[in-house]
Structure 1
């Protein structure tokens, strides 16, 4: 029963700064046939639980506190403990004022299906953004920090472009080039595919 990465796409909305947008979110599941870690609690708890397929939920890790990544968390909390970096507590409380989460911290490890997941604090898109590195699976789960084609958006409240560039440069692009980057929205990419474009991103202030 070797560990694997499963994937489900859920759909809903993202709201911030008075605007609302339709979005499709990637929900990633890491585990074996008996236990699983869910990465991001997006939109549809029933679809996420169906993807978990009866496995024991070790943790539900939210990569950051934007509502499209946490809006199913309260419904999933009965299945397993929900984790979020405390720097995004204020975003969490706006959606779940009466539900608590377990705090994530940089360097924290989770074990599931015989593999380890390491938490990397990668702020910039939001103060509490994290990426999850699974070196034994050659996988990195970046939430909205790094996408195919560049960094996550930094044009809204509580975000900062120099900070996200620092996070990507110092925490992500140092990983092996063949590391698969599983993103919060859109296509999977690799560190090697994205790293050569760092100067372009900086030049255009993406």
Structure 2
């Protein structure tokens, strides 16, 4: 069973994957609003908190959730540098970098900041490409997909891909010279590899916004490469 809680100032999709026939579950990208997330997982045994990447809008609820749920945090080790960069930006500017949404949030008096304790960056289990995460009898496969960040990962179960900010309906996640630690060339390589042998009917669950399918996105790879974003 797959559920979603949309949280925070960037409407981040926090995903809950429950193993069939059990109350064991994984929590993906707890970006904010820990009280709402805790309500959504009430009665579940959260076996892992998995990060597709470490941008602030995917991690801010971690301190409260790890305290309440006693669940380990899993992420790619390359995201340590990403979180350090996020904290450095916060210290320098007084707010996080919300990408293309930053100016709009500042204009309406909603600077992207944390309202409580910040995550200390602790990862209990580093993840690498092709690792698996067992939730009951459900097996989640890790796919390392750098580009939006060096340690971005996607998570695969049969019929479903959780793509974080690597792939959305209409193209790849944010990259560009003004955003350190990103690479358009890398994200396109990652997306080509991700979609190469994945059936068209596979559902894509991104880090923000609506779902799509592999079949809907695959035909546009050349178009995205040409436009450069």
TM-score range, shorter chain: 0.7 to 0.9
| Unaligned runs of at least 5 residues, structure 1 | 13-22
1:205 aligns with 2:228: yes
Shift of 1:107: 1.1
CA distance in 2, matches of 1:117, 1:101: 18
Q: Runs in 1 of length 4+ with deviation above 6 angstroms?
A: none
Match runs of 1:14-53 below 5 Å: 23-32=10-19, 33-53=22-42
CA distance in 1, matches of 2:66, 2:82: 17
| Unaligned runs of at least 5 residues, structure 2 | 88-117
Determine helix, strand or coil for the equivalent of 1:107. coil
CA distance in 1, matches of 2:29, 2:3: 13
1:72-117 superposed Cα distances (whole Å, 9 cap, x missing partner): 1122112111111110102234555745112111111112242210
Determine helix, strand or coil for the equivalent of 2:38. helix
Determine helix, strand or coil for the equivalent of 1:77. helix
After TM superposition, the score normalised by the length of structure 2 is 0.79
CA distance in 2, matches of 1:128, 1:35: 26
Count of residues paired in the alignment: 191
Residues 74 and 99, structure 1, Cα contact 8 Å, conserved in 2: no
Which structure has greater strand proportion? Answer: 1
Residues 70 and 92, structure 1, Cα contact 8 Å, conserved in 2: no
Residues 67 and 91, structure 1, Cα contact 8 Å, conserved in 2: no
Rg (Cα) greater in structure: 2
Aligned residue in 2 for 1:90: 81
